[in-house]
Structure 1
């Protein structure tokens, strides 16, 4: 599950989980990560939450990025790195604010702008330290041996390149469900080069892990987990409305989403306001087997402020769809743990009435 720090209506892990786990509330994932130790923060396709049980399998990812972080940060700041590790070893979980070295850099990068922050992030990416917990979004780091459960930490690392590539590609399909072999490059981060991925796909089909499928009039090639094939013939559940996060696993391959659902989605959060077509943090709205709308909203001081709602051009909402939207609104209010809702007067009147009815249903 991809992590992103922006928090308009919960962070991306919250949005991903509320779309799938009944009764989920904002920040529930932190219990699984920082108390139960079922998951932990790691670098995958981007910063992600991953299973603690996969620690040994991810050794190749840590080694893959180590030369870059050594070259860019750790070799240049070797003394700082040694000091930080010694302090963590002696004192336990620490953040960048616990170190007096506050030298700042002018460039704004993923590492952060202080020397301590940059060294900590480089050590984290290499697996020398792991996030012990977060406080107001800030990482507090400790050694992995004190965080990753012993039965997983002590497992031998998966260093065979072909075996690792088969494993990580299987995880991508497990995360998304249906993927094109030529999906967006960021999806295949840490999955080897094109030749390694091609070989892995052949091997995964041969051993029955993946099945190739052709979709649409042109027979576009996708692959899926063979274990999920039975779902193609399963009876569809009763349709319900889902508000999806912008970095939801299902949306990772935007071109595939356009091909499969005729839904053109672009996350505009980093675009200048004048260049946005929709809004700052727009959530796709899914119903049954299609995308029906887009929602832009914020949680501010206990109030869920709904700023914009756009129906997709071919959508004519009927009674069943509106009833599902009403129920989804009530669930989302519970997920946010909001006290009240405010719907902008410019919001489509049908959506506005339905959302407010959902809030009254919750009350």
Structure 2
């Protein structure tokens, strides 16, 4: 059988369309719930992260695709900000998807296999598992308190207990909460100032999601692999299983089933050595007009090897690297222009001074610095306005800094 052959550029364009980098989403003057749901059709889930030097990761992932949207769209749908005493059911829920993630409530039955494994102390962090095994009475006490008083956050619990080792200063109650959350006995009812509030799933999730039977593990893995493949458009087995952090033993039977039913077909991609598959619904645009700053936790670049294979762009998070050893900066965002990653910026929202700080700006070797800097200045202005910052301050670090400074000054 002769396999379809794709150039690297064709694979990039398929991936960008699959990930929701579309003019019909970016070009909207006023976004509504339909645009949020359309974006989730392309990304599947949003990673949540506590780093807030620029903005929360889930906000930035949506900004990359929608532009200057109203944050309250996701806040209301997932109860991410408002105090969660509302009895309104959530359209999205938080759980361990890729990492900590916001997922559509419709996926709740597809994640229960992971909850059931966690209840058996499989697949969760060792410190949490050890605590739950050694302290079942404390776990049950915390559950009963949430059952009686929820929604509550960890500081609301009546008896906090001792702190257990170096885990961010987590005390016994926090460890019990995390075990209960991972095992699905409780869920996130929302957040206030990014502090998670907990309640019982049946009091938070839509009834049609909570009441549906849990999917058998194989059916769940197949669905999650299909979503990973659809959201990537084209990729390897590793690409697809990494999307929901599936193990090879869970992913491979599901992958084979998707191939046999025709959902995935093997293809060849220029420069890729591993076996590559294309989703049956993947589309190849004739051109790409994307322009976006990508947060470190954006689903387009979750898998660094994939980003390198698609874009010839080596990217690593340097948040945990000592300052003197960082190459590009602390919170570095790649810049997508057309169908290429052309630059990277170290950014911070300086809310005290009301400016968007560009601590460093580095371009890729073969770019047109004038064109890239002009596009970057426009994107930074859009971001600064969305963040309600008054200006942009470009520092001198990086080979693109001088050109970017001039473009920003001319805005």
Shift of 1:213: 2.1
Query: What are the equivalent positions in structure 2 for 1:109-188 lying under 5 Å apart?
Result: 109=167, 113-159=170-216, 161-183=217-239, 187=243
* Unaligned ranges ≥5, structure 1: none
Which of the residues 68, 86, 90 maps onto 2:148? Answer: 90
Separation of aligned partners in 1, 2:243 and 2:231: 11
Partners of 1:240 and 1:328 within 8 A in 2: no
The counterpart of 1:248, out of the listed 277, 298, 314, is 298
**Would you say the 8 A contact 1:44–1:61 is kept in 2?**
no
Does the aligned pair in 1 maintain the 2:348–2:358 contact within 8 Å? yes
Identify the residue that residue 91 of structure 2 maps to in structure 1. Answer: 38
CA contact (8 A) 2:262 2:280 kept: yes
C-alpha displacement at 1:174, in angstroms?
A: 3.2
Contact 2:360 2:396 in 1 (8 A): no
- How many Å separate the matches in 1 of 2:176 and 2:314? 39
Q: Give the C-alpha shift of residue 26 in structure 1.
A: 5.1
- Cross-structure match for 1:310: 362
Q: What displacement does 1:327 show?
A: 2.6
CA distance in 1, matches of 2:189, 2:75: 11
Q: Is the 8 A contact 2:291 2:336 kept in 1?
A: yes
Moved more, 289-298 or 321-330: 321-330
The equivalent residue for 2:117 is 64
Post-superposition shift, 1:325?
2.5
Helix, strand or coil: the match of 2:66? Answer: coil
3-state secondary structure, aligned to 2:230: helix
Does the CA-based 8 Å contact 1:214-1:220 persist in structure 2?
A: no
Q: Deviation at 1:236? A: 1.8
Are the counterparts in 2 of residues 26 and 336 from structure 1 also a CA contact under 8 Å? no
Separation (CA, whole Å) in 2 of partners of 1:140 and 1:91: 11
* Residues 245-286 of structure 1: per-residue CA shift (max 9 Å, x gap): 111111122112112211000101011112211111100111
Q: Which one of the candidate residues 54, 58, 65 is aligned to 1:9?
A: 54
Check 1:276–1:155 CA distance in 2 against 1; reply closer, same or farther (3 A cut).
same
The secondary structure found in structure 2 opposite 1:280 is coil
Instruction: Give the aligned partner of residue 85 of structure 2.
Output: none
Separation of aligned partners in 2, 1:214 and 1:337: 45
Q: Once the 2 structures are TM-superposed, how far is the Cα of residue 92 of structure 1 from its aligned partner?
A: 2.1
Q: Would the alpha carbon gap of residues 256 and 345 (structure 1) be closer, same or farther in structure 2, given more than 3 Å must change?
A: closer
Relative to structure 1, the CA distance from residue 290 to residue 32 in structure 2 (aligned partners, 3 Å threshold; closer, same or farther) is: same
Match of 1:337 in 2: 388
Alignment-derived partner of residue 251 in structure 2: 197
- Of the three residues 245, 259, 265, the one matched with 1:211 is 265
Distance 1:109 1:271 in 2: 19
For residues 362 and 350 of structure 2, what CA distance do their matches in structure 1 show? 21
Shift of 1:294: 0.6
Distance 1:77 1:169 in 2: 36
Note closer, same or farther for the CA distance 1:244–1:199 as it changes in structure 2 (3 Å cut). Answer: same
Instruction: Specify the alignment match of 2:317 in structure 1.
Output: 267
Unaligned runs of 5+ in 2: 1-45, 80-87
Q: 2:66 aligns with which of 11, 18, 21?
A: 21
Q: Distance in 1 between matches of 2:327 and 2:264?
A: 38
Q: Following TM superposition, by how much is the alpha carbon of 1:226 offset from its aligned partner in structure 2, in angstroms?
A: 1.1
Shift of 1:106: 4.9
Report matched runs for 1:226-245 at 5 Å.
226-228=280-282, 231-232=283-284, 234-237=285-288, 239-245=289-295
Check if 1:354 corresponds to 2:407: yes
Q: TM-score, structure 1 length as denominator?
A: 0.88
SS in 1 for 2:190: strand
Q: Which residue of 1 aligns with 2:134?
A: 76
- Name the residue aligned to 1:258: 308
Q: Distance in 1 between matches of 2:204 and 2:313?
A: 41
Measured in 1, the distance between the counterparts of 2:130 and 2:409 equals 52
Distance across 1 between alignment mates of 2:385 and 2:278: 34
Cα distance in structure 1, aligned partners of 2:141 and 2:73? 34
TM-score (norm 2): 0.78
